[in-house]
Structure 1
């Protein structure tokens, strides 16, 4: 009976290690796939055989991106990972004499 419990414990530990290794692999792959810069709202998707396919997220407006993309095989897209910073409104200062 003790041998069966020991075998079961070893199998559970091996399964936990395998699940942890799989989770770490999946998480590291998604980090590498992040191509968008969250600081800019517009990205240019550049297509090319020599330079490869890439995302350039350095634009604040669609017009700015389109002007840069007009001479090459590229499209402008809205950045799905853009993080808008909230506008801080200050309370008016009290009038002093």
Structure 2
């Protein structure tokens, strides 16, 4: 149970709560559902952030037409956040 929950990204505190809940099979499962829903929201936020990072990295990597490091757009973009097209952190 613990390993599978960790693989799904659940925090240690949430895993503890889920294990404790599993010891009371007669109780409603609303709290377990809420923990899973919160983890889903967290995963979706991470996916959205990763998509923004992917888009920005793709843009930076394909904008470079320089022949030398001095002309490299990648290096300039890393040095100056204002050159980024969007917030990605």
- Tell me which interval the TM-score lies in, with the shorter structure as reference length: 0.3 to 0.5
TM-score for both structures, normalised by structure 1: 0.39
Higher helix share: 2
- Work out which of the two has the higher radius of gyration on C-alpha atoms and give 1 or 2: 1
TM-score for both structures, normalised by structure 2: 0.42
Larger relative contact order, structure 1 or 2 (CA cutoff 8 Å, min sep 6): 1
Higher strand share: 1
